[in-house]
Chains A and B, each alone.
Chain A
Amino acid sequence: MGPLYPLGIISDEINMLIGFFIGIGFGFLLEAAGFTNTRKLAGVFYGYDFVVLKVFFSAGITAAIGLFLMNHYGYIDIQSIFYPKTFWIPTLIGGGIMAFGFLIGGFCPGTSLCAAVTGKIDAMVFVLGIFIGIFFYAFTYEPLWETLRNSGKMGKVNIADWMGISDGLFIFLMTVIAAIMFFAVTLIQKKVTSKRDYQL
């Protein structure tokens, strides 16, 4: 019965070690999929490379299916794992700020870190920027952000419940939509890249 660490089945040290190994897998895959190349990342918005969308959705869907089935068959208690609480206003605004960050800087935190350690100078600057951003946020937290960050509180909300359908149906619909999207973006990519060479 999982999750093992929150239920006290494995120790602190083992947990950290597992975190390290899971991190290796995550980092390896991000790099291997091409997430350290900022041009490939930004391509999703200009139609010449959809790797972000493909990796992102297959990862999310795999996890959703896996966790749903594990919960269903009693291997994990989904209630005791990390479940992001919904604060819709700051998430929407923060997401908007991150959209600008992505379009201007060309990375997100995880990918920039991978890119920085594999020698991309632009990514190193991006990571530096993130730290500056967090420092700025931290020191202006009370006057500028605190109220906003805690507004729009909805608690732990499951999107399927929120839409009034079952989890299984939601996962199925999400996967079907993703599959159609995968097919569509492959066509778009072919069309866009046939017109000119993007020199990735």
Chain B
Amino acid sequence: MKKLDALFVGLLLIGSLWAFIVNTASNTPTNRIQPCDIINIISQSDKYITTDELARRLMSDDPTLTLIDLRENKEFVSYSLPGAINIPIEKILDNEYRDIINQDVQTVVFYSNSSDLAVKAWMLTKRLGYKNNFILKGGLNNWVETILRPTEPSETASREEFERYNFRKAASAYFGGGSATGEVSTSAPKPKVAIKRKKKQAAGGGCD
């Protein structure tokens, strides 16, 4: 019996030593972002969606699009993109939003005033292994500049640029930006976006 006891306690000690060694050997705990990961993530170029692309998808009522507004609720209420869901950046990891952000079907686009918060949110969610998440390039500032108040290209500009300008002018009218010089509408239409949730149960609680 004595020998058996020593064997089992020894097994526990070996196991814990194993945990200790792998923890120390990897030096940085597994749940921390390592520098090489950050470089890999930053150098990915397909993480952005341009304002033109977003406008096109919004205008075609693309049902697979989920817009996430990362700003404070106050800012969200005063102006937001059509159909956007407000998840302030500090709540991005909350369980209640996980189904919205982490799923395969929808294209999730993060935005804030610039692309600052969106990049942070994107890095976080990328690190968690979430797919199909994108950043609105230039954020709302860029949205206003390019879509709501497009500037007319100079006469020597290429045909492409004129086409883009025409598209933007149409988009501007669609999103209530009015003419290129008009006021930004504060009551953009907000069609409800149906969110297809991946089946996911919250982990329950032992005794509680």
* Nearest B residue (CB) for A183: B9
Given the interface pairs A6-B200, A8-B200, A71-B30, the reply to whether A84 lies near B206 with Cβ below 8 Å is yes
**Chain A residues whose C-beta falls within 8 Å of the C-beta of B20 in the assembled complex:** 168-169, 171-172
Query: Does A150 make an interface contact (CB < 8 A)?
Result: no
Contact A178 B30 (CB under 8 A): no
* Nearest A residue (CB) for B9: A179
B residues within 8 Å of A by Cβ?
Answer: 5, 8-9, 12-13, 15-24, 26, 29-31, 198-208
Contact B205 A166 (CB under 8 A): no
Query: Does A43 make an interface contact (CB < 8 A)?
Result: no
In whole Å, how far is A184's beta carbon from the nearest beta carbon of chain B? 12
* Nearest B residue (CB) for A71: B30
* Chain A 1-33 near chain B by CB (<8 Å), digits 1 or 0: 001011110000000000000000000000000
Query: Does A82 make an interface contact (CB < 8 A)?
Result: yes
* Chain A 58-80 near chain B by CB (<8 Å), digits 1 or 0: 10011011101101100000011
**Chain A residues whose C-beta falls within 8 Å of the C-beta of B12 in the assembled complex:** 58, 61-62, 65, 175, 178-179
A83 to B31 CA separation, bound complex (whole angstroms): 16
Query: Does A174 make an interface contact (CB < 8 A)?
Result: yes
A84 to B206 CA separation, bound complex (whole angstroms): 8
Within 8 A of B (CB), among A147-200: 166-169, 171-172, 174-176, 178-179, 182, 186
Q: How many residues of A contact B (CB 8 A)?
A: 35
A189 to B206 CA separation, bound complex (whole angstroms): 32
A5 to B5 CA separation, bound complex (whole angstroms): 35
**Chain A residues whose C-beta falls within 8 Å of the C-beta of B29 in the assembled complex:** 166-167
Extra 18 A-B pairs, beta carbons < 8 Å, given A8-B201, A176-B13, A176-B16 = A6-B201, A8-B199, A58-B12, A61-B15, A62-B15, A65-B12, A68-B23, A69-B22, A72-B26, A84-B206, A166-B23, A168-B21, A168-B22, A169-B20, A169-B24, A172-B16, A175-B16, A178-B12
Contact A3 B203 (CB under 8 A): yes
A149 to B19 CA separation, bound complex (whole angstroms): 35
* Nearest A residue (CB) for B25: A168
* Nearest B residue (CB) for A66: B15
**Chain B residues whose C-beta falls within 8 Å of the C-beta of A5 in the assembled complex:** 201
Contact B203 A69 (CB under 8 A): no
Query: Does A81 make an interface contact (CB < 8 A)?
Result: yes
In whole Å, how far is B163's beta carbon from the nearest beta carbon of chain A? 44
In whole Å, how far is A170's beta carbon from the nearest beta carbon of chain B? 9
**Chain B residues whose C-beta falls within 8 Å of the C-beta of A179 in the assembled complex:** 9, 12-13
Contact B203 A68 (CB under 8 A): no
Q: Which of B9, B26, B198, B204 contacts A82 (CB 8 A)?
A: B204
A68 to B202 CA separation, bound complex (whole angstroms): 21
Q: Which of A80, A166, A182 contacts B203 (CB 8 A)?
A: A80
A174 to B16 CA separation, bound complex (whole angstroms): 9
Q: Which 4 A-B pairs have the closest CB atoms?
A: A168-B23, A175-B16, A172-B20, A65-B15
Contact A61 B16 (CB under 8 A): yes
Contact B16 A65 (CB under 8 A): yes
**Chain A residues whose C-beta falls within 8 Å of the C-beta of B201 in the assembled complex:** 5-6, 8
**Chain A residues whose C-beta falls within 8 Å of the C-beta of B198 in the assembled complex:** 8
**Chain B residues whose C-beta falls within 8 Å of the C-beta of A69 in the assembled complex:** 15, 18-19, 22
In whole Å, how far is A191's beta carbon from the nearest beta carbon of chain B? 16
Within 8 A of B (CB), among A108-167: 109, 166-167
A21 to B8 CA separation, bound complex (whole angstroms): 24
In whole Å, how far is A163's beta carbon from the nearest beta carbon of chain B? 14
**Chain A residues whose C-beta falls within 8 Å of the C-beta of B21 in the assembled complex:** 168
Given the interface pairs A72-B30, A83-B203, the reply to whether A172 lies near B17 with Cβ below 8 Å is yes
A179 to B23 CA separation, bound complex (whole angstroms): 21
In whole Å, how far is A95's beta carbon from the nearest beta carbon of chain B? 12
